[in-house]
Structures are given as C-alpha cells and as structure tokens.
Amino acid sequence: MLDFLKNHPFPVAAHFTQSTVLTFAVPKAQLQSFLPESISLDTFNDEFGFIAVAMVDTKNLRPKGFPEFMGNNFFLIGYRIFVKYVDNRGKRLRGLYIIKSETNKKKMEFFGNIFTHYNYTTTDISFAEKGNLAEISSEKSGFKLIFEEKEDAVLPETSPFENWKQARRFAGPLPFTFTYEETKKQMLIIQGVRQNWTPKAITVIDQHFDFIEKLNLKGVKLANAFVIKNVPYHWEKGKKELWKP
C-alpha cells in the first residue's frame, strides 16, 4: 500500500563533504544486459559503456526546506551505469542507473529503502587521510581505494580517453537518475541539482572492488578518477511517466 513512497515523494537536500568517483570502461555489449528495455547505454566512441563507483561523505541529509540540524550524516557507496533515456517530450536525458547502493548507517538503509528503489544495504566503511594520500575501504564489502591528490594527476594508463576533457564527461554524477518499473512500464526520473561542482583529477595508487569483479565482466578498465569537495546538493521530487517504445 505504501509503494508510492519509494518514488522520491519530496525533494531532499544534503551537503557533499567529499565525493570520490572512479569510472570503469567496459565493452558496451557486456553492460546492456544490466539495463531495462527503456534505457540505453551512454557510450564513448560507440565502443565502451561505463560503470561508476561513487563514494560520498554526506552531511545534513534532510527533506529540502528543513533546517540542517535535522539532517543526518552518512557515507554512501553507489555503483551506477551511465545511461541515456528519451522522455515523452522527445528530449534525451543523460543519467545514471543504479545497480547497487551501500551505506554505513542502519538508519540510512531503513529510510533509504522506504523512500527510494535503491535497495540499500549496510556495510563498514573506513576513510583515512595522511598528507595527500587517502584511503577508502570496507572489509565486509571487499573494496579498497588508495589515491593521491596532486596537481599533475594523469589519466590511468588503461583509460580509453585521450584527455581529461573527454574523461570529465563521464565523471558523474549526471543530472538524472532513473528507476524503471517493468510491470507498469513506468519510468521514475529524479533530477539532482548541484552547486560549486568542480571535479579534480586524482591519481589512483591502488583499487579493488569485489562487486565489480563479481559481475564477471571482461575487459574492464579504469577510465578516470575524480574527487569533488564541499558541494551543496539536492534532489527534486521524483517524476513518473509511462515509457513509450
């Protein structure tokens, strides 16, 4: 009876203290099977699709318009595929399709699964900094990222991009996130609105994500890595429409 609550029934505001995003390039044929019929891959050179792993330190998450002290702090790990969707106006929207969501707080898991379709689970998440080096890891989820912030960061050797300008197009997050209810042929569109969005390239020293490995994809390559700090962010109320093939 309360399924409608999952459709982002009100706008939400938060502050991203830090968002660290790694994007992996995958031969496009291997990713299409993860998507519903209504969404297509957002590709590069018609060759690669992309999975992003976003690690976000979030503060003061609350319904938009509520005071900050009523918000909650949590860490989020989101695994998302870069996609495109053509809405009923015929407008092509670039966005993300979520395939896994994790958080470090049971409270966020509980309320996140009431008000979204993202299927949050709770895990342990550690974040540590020493000088220009930082590490984000989880024993339970089996991931570790060690990276360095420096002015002369270079693209990963495995990247399909020729320069940072190309790479930034797939830095995430994108303006829209999509959820598709196949039985109803209904698309849910959530728009994110951000300020002070200035991605800074980082150098990845070491990285491993069990979830990516367990997808059994072949030819996965690290394509780019960025960090974004101190960003006011909010999500608009979800919008629903029937998908028209």
pLDDT digit string (tens) for 5-21? 888 889 999 999 999 99
- The pLDDT value given to residue 2: 64
* pTM of the shown model: 0.94
What domains can you pick out in the chain, each with its CATH number? 3-242 (2.40.400.10)
Question: Mean pLDDT by 10-residue block, N- to C-terminus, for the chain (245 residues)?
Answer: 78 95 96 94 96 96 91 95 96 96 95 90 95 95 95 92 93 86 93 88 96 96 95 94 91
- Other beta carbons less than 10 A from residue 122's beta carbon: 17
Judging by DSSP bridges, how do beta strands 203-209 and 12-27 pair with one another? unpaired
Integer angstrom CA distances of residue 168 from 2, 102, 199, 223:
39, 24, 8, 10
With pLDDT > 90 as the criterion, what percentage of the chain qualifies? 82
pLDDT digit string (tens) for 152-183? 888 999 999 999 999 999 986 688 999 999 99
